[in-house]
Structure 1
Amino acid sequence: MLIQPSQADVRRFFCGVYAKARTTATLEPMEMLVSQWIDEHPEYHAELADLDAALSRMHQADPHRENPFLHLSMHLSISEQCSIDQPRGIRQAVELLTHRLNSLHDAHHRAMECLGRMVHESQLSGRMPDGAAYIDCVQRHATQD
């Protein structure tokens, strides 16, 4: 069964993890991973601290402002892709990019560019996402000077 959370569900989850991580409550494994990515982005903490505001701004897209929930979701997606090596080869490509940049965080940001491009092209063409093109893009980042 495929789980498809709503935009509000995603915001509640990330805000809930942020709140829970600020207490002594025990985090579930997925929450620990999310919390680590949240810690990497202190610029999002104020927004994550206010669920009501996050929910009220849900449909107010601002092209001049990054969406912290989308950004954190992409970190989580790439982490999950690497953990199961799906699409096949993503783990090695991200590991090579991490080594080249000496930063998992920076490698994820480069991989996000590729992931975003793959999703965008899939939506434009009406076809399934091209995992091979995604891997090739991440690999190109890993071998650039």
Structure 2
Amino acid sequence: MFNPSRDQVRDFFIDTWSKHQKKQILTPLESIALNWIQQHPEYHHILENPDAKSRDFSVDQGQVNPFLHLSMHLAIEEQISINSPPGIRDVFQALAARSSTHDAAHEIMECLGTVLWEAQRLGKPLDNEHYLELLKQRVHRH
């Protein structure tokens, strides 16, 4: 399983944005990442800042970690593409039908964030059943 370090993840997004600005050829994964970077213009200045690689983003101070956010977009896109956990693609399509694909990804991200936090807090693997339950609640909430 691919498990990049914090610096590798940050380098990936910073390098992807830099390559795009220089009109260099991107790998398929970089192209997917670029799509999400472009949908988050509020992160562009961070990706252009040499200090971003070592910067801490404090949730306590209301900061969003752009590298974590973009990484979660990539993870969710992969989950949808392979429909794993089973049913996530249908959930995504239902959520996207009432707003946008980006908003749907953010709704899924909230559920993923919850189950990741729970898994870390309890020292257990991610609970896919609970994840799907939270996702289905989102679909039926509106």
TM-score by length of 1: 0.91
Give the AA of the match of 1:81.
Q
Q: Does 1:144 align with 2:141?
A: yes
Instruction: Give the secondary-structure state (helix, strand or coil) at the position aligned to 2:112.
Output: helix
| Residue of structure 2 equivalent to 1:12 | 11
Any idea what the Cα deviations from partners look like across 1:26-70, whole Å, max 9, x if unmatched?
2111111100000000000000012x311231xx34222110000
Q: Which amino acid aligns with 1:62?
A: S
2:105 aligned residue = 108
Higher RCO structure (Cα 8 Å, ≥6 apart): 1
Post-superposition Cα deviations, 1:85-133, rounded to whole Å, max 9, x if no partner, equal 11111111111111122x0100111111100111111122222211111
Gaps of 5+ in 1: none
1:123 is aligned to 2:120: yes
Tell me the matched-pair count: 140
Match of 1:23 in 2: 22
Unmatched segments (≥5 aa) in structure 2: none
Question: Which residue does 1:48 correspond to in 2?
Answer: 47
Out of 58, 62, 79, the position equivalent to 1:62 is 58
- Of all paired residues, the percent bearing the same amino acid is 41
TM-score normalized by structure 2? 0.93
